[in-house]
Chains A and B, each alone.
Chain A
Amino acid sequence: MTVIEVTDDRLAAAPAPALAGLEADLAFCHPAIEAVLAVGAGGIAVRAAPHDEAEAESVRREVKRVAELSIASYRFVPDSEPLWTRRAGGDSNLGALAGFRERFMVDLGPGQYALIGPAAALRSSIDARFQDLAVACGAEPWHLPSIEATGDLLPRVGYLASHAQHVTWGVHLTPRFDSLRRFAADARRSGATAPGAEHEVTPAGFILEPVVCHNVYRALAGARLDGTRLITALGSCYRFEGCRFAPLLRQWEFSMREAILIGPPEPLRRLRERILAATLEVASQLDLGGALEIATDPFFVSEAGSARAFQAMQSTKLELRLDLGGGAATAAASFNLHGTHFSEPMDIRGPGGELLETACVGWGIERWMAALVARRGPEPSAWRL
């Protein structure tokens, strides 16, 4: 194990959002990196396991390249004041999450966790709270698949260029008898756990769903809608996080409830504001501290500049960050206006043929669990909603 330190003059002038974004970008920088230890004005430190000095030098070089691109992508993202803040009636304690993890979670692999008994009940209760909120605003509950075919929406909106680092693709064995028999024999004889170069595989044509709303737009492709539609669904979502997996806070598989809005611009904005206000009210009712901030998506670093600048310019993404204690916070809800980004490629229009707009609100269920446990402690009796 080696700690690799990199300095760069640009770090000193980088605003806070850029430093936070750089920490995320470095998680995808080099396969030898095991953890990002520090990102600040004074420099970057990563823990890595390079095979030799040549690979260590390769890590340094890639960290510098990513730092340059990442900081540049925040050129037009201001370090703005929060739009809303709330102080909780007591302190949150990040340490409570360790006790929760020990008692109520089982590690099943990178970013994959089982929730036991009271933890599973808490997850259901929090989701029910947001489903009720969405339904009270007029949402129709839907169920959606946790996979998304890659042939329509994804290429048309450029998702695989802008978020490639998070995507998990599916493959299956090619349905050819000899090929299947070869893999089955290898699995039996040598314990093969995945197809190798000697096996015949076919891309499944889908990715594991990284967000809930995409499949709604796909389901409404070509639709002509009267008025504003509001749909809500709970999804199992999947995002690869490089070396940054953390229970509840950053999982490969996580639960997200979304409210998906489709309609004319003004009614859509009003409905988003209503859901936003109701979400802030939930934070207050649960006595959670936090802040509402202008944010940008986790775009892939080499493609991020324009998309990040556009989001910041339009203030299209707001995030509710809930306190975890010790200065830490987690983005537990986001409120996003898309304009015609999805409706145009999916041809979703109003009764007169005019393009509608879309928006979505996402509630990260495990992150709300983390904020609640940090605030109230690891004893289930304290979690009553």
Chain B
Amino acid sequence: MSPALRSEIRHLISELSASSTPFADGEDLFSRGVLRSLNLMELVDQLEDRFQIRVGHRDFVAGRLSSVDAIAALVGGRP
């Protein structure tokens, strides 16, 4: 996964977050309190707009939005 992609995702999350809590790429953003449940659709909208992907229900269940690593894999793995 490219460092530039991770950096862009971290930047996006920082924009959405109201918290100053530091977070590692593998940490769960929601249980860590970096993002709140009310940020979720905003996160989806931003990912879909910026990376031209379509997030599906399976991505939610599989935890593909839960951390920087998971989001990078989701974005990087989509055509």
Seen from chain A, the residues whose Cβ lies within 8 Å of a Cβ on chain B are 75-76, 78, 158, 162, 303, 305-307, 309-313, 339-341, 344
Any chain A CB within 8 A of the CB of B31?
A: yes
Q: A339-B31, A340-B33 are in contact. Are A306 and B61 (CB under 8 A)?
A: no
| Interface pair B41/A313, CB less than 8 Å apart | no
The 3 closest A-B pairs by CB, nearest first: A310-B37, A313-B60, A305-B41
Q: Apart from A76-B57, A340-B31, list 18 A-B contacts with CB within 8 A.
A: A78-B61, A162-B38, A305-B40, A305-B41, A306-B37, A306-B41, A306-B42, A307-B37, A307-B38, A307-B40, A309-B40, A310-B30, A310-B37, A311-B37, A313-B60, A339-B30, A340-B33, A344-B33
Nearest CB of chain A from residue B42's CB, rounded to whole Å: 7
Any chain A CB within 8 A of the CB of B39?
A: yes
Q: Which residues in A have their C-beta under 8 angstroms from that of B57?
A: 75-76, 78, 312
> With A and B bound together, what is the CA distance between A312 and B61 in angstroms?
8
Q: Which residues in B have their C-beta under 8 angstroms from that of A78?
A: 57, 61
| Interface pair A310/B40, CB less than 8 Å apart | yes
> With A and B bound together, what is the CA distance between A78 and B58 in angstroms?
9
> With A and B bound together, what is the CA distance between A344 and B21 in angstroms?
13
> With A and B bound together, what is the CA distance between A232 and B43 in angstroms?
37
> With A and B bound together, what is the CA distance between A313 and B38 in angstroms?
13
Q: Which residue of A lies closest to B60 (CB)?
A: A313
Q: Which residues in B have their C-beta under 8 angstroms from that of A76?
A: 57, 60
Nearest CB of chain B from residue A193's CB, rounded to whole Å: 39
Nearest CB of chain B from residue A302's CB, rounded to whole Å: 11
Q: Which residues in B have their C-beta under 8 angstroms from that of A162?
A: 38
Main secondary structure of the interface of A (DSSP, over half): helix
Nearest CB of chain B from residue A13's CB, rounded to whole Å: 14
Number of B residues near A (Cβ < 8 Å) is 14
16 A-B interface contacts by CB (under 8 A)? A78-B57, A78-B61, A305-B40, A306-B38, A306-B40, A307-B37, A309-B41, A309-B60, A310-B30, A310-B37, A310-B38, A310-B40, A312-B57, A313-B40, A313-B60, A339-B31
Nearest CB of chain A from residue B26's CB, rounded to whole Å: 18
Nearest CB of chain B from residue A312's CB, rounded to whole Å: 7
Nearest CB of chain A from residue B25's CB, rounded to whole Å: 20
Interface centre among A76, A311, A341 (most CB of B within 10 A): A76
Interface centre among B40, B41, B42, B44 (most CB of A within 10 A): B41
Q: Which residues in A have their C-beta under 8 angstroms from that of B30?
A: 310, 339
Nearest CB of chain B from residue A351's CB, rounded to whole Å: 20
Q: Contact string, B40-79, partner A, CB cutoff 8 A, digits 1/0?
A: 1110100000000000010011000100000000000000
Q: A339-B31, A344-B33 are in contact. Are A158 and B61 (CB under 8 A)?
A: no
Nearest CB of chain B from residue A38's CB, rounded to whole Å: 27
> With A and B bound together, what is the CA distance between A146 and B30 in angstroms?
32
Nearest CB of chain A from residue B3's CB, rounded to whole Å: 28
Interface centre among A311, A312, A313 (most CB of B within 10 A): A313
Interface centre among A310, A312, A344 (most CB of B within 10 A): A310
Q: Which residue of B lies closest to A339 (CB)?
A: B31
Interface centre among B30, B31, B60 (most CB of A within 10 A): B60
Q: Which residues in A have their C-beta under 8 angstroms from that of B38?
A: 158, 162, 303, 306-307, 310
Q: Which residue of A lies closest to B63 (CB)?
A: A313
> With A and B bound together, what is the CA distance between A139 and B40 in angstroms?
34
Nearest CB of chain B from residue A201's CB, rounded to whole Å: 32
> With A and B bound together, what is the CA distance between A313 and B61 in angstroms?
5
